[in-house]
Amino acid sequence: MSSDLEAPSEPFGLFDEWFALAKTKETNDPNAMALATVDAQALPNVRMVLMKEITPAGVVFYTNTESQKGNEIAQNPQAAVVFHWKSLQRQVRFRGPLARVSDAEADAYFVSRARDSRIGAWASQQSRPLEDRFALEKAVAREALRFGLGEVPRPPHWTGFRLTPLYIEFWQDKPFRLHERLVFRRESPETGFRTERLYP
């Protein structure tokens, strides 16, 4: 059985090809990815977030640093993400260390968000107990009043993280569960990737 998943010398061009196709096929959020971190007891947590940038430097997402994921990242700045495009029967996994994006990058992305989303970043005490929905609505109204018609700056507790991959796996569905798995590994961000195929 021949393979139709070719093995390029680097993984990012292949990801760009798959992602471009996903943007034409996926109904909602082709940039959605499951993000896994671990807590202080090494218990994993996973949730869906949106990828906002991907380059050879890594995969970027944004969050409140005082949230559960933010606290877990502070304790153990490593993570795994997976993109699953059901309509394409494909998925891509990334694993590696995390680092904050620069303030300039975070500011530039924050200002591109809808104004209501920027106000929400100030109003929401992400991951902490909420007495009722009305308390959140009051917090949003309070912050909207505070900023009025002026600019809404980025909160100091809101920023982005870049996952620099040491492991990337491309998975493609095949009949009879004889799927294709193509892996790129490297020892550090400074070294080159080596490739291998895995049994399904």
Backbone angles phi, psi at 93, to 5 degrees: -115, 140
Reply yes or no on whether the pLDDT at 23 is more than 90.
yes
Query: What's the rounded mean pLDDT across residues 129-138?
Result: 94
Q: Where are the alpha helices (DSSP H) in the chain?
A: 12-25, 68-75, 103-112, 115-123, 133-147
Full-model pTM: 0.93
Q: How confident is the model over 29-49, as pLDDT tens digits?
A: 999 999 999 999 999 999 999
Q: What is the mean pLDDT of the chain?
A: 95
Closest listed residue to residue 103, CA positions, set 115, 111, 95: 111
Q: Say how many C-beta atoms besides its own lie within 10 A of residue 154's C-beta.
A: 19
* Active site annotation includes 115: no
The single residue of 133, 177, 186, 197 carrying the catalytic annotation is 177
> 3-class SS at 106?
helix
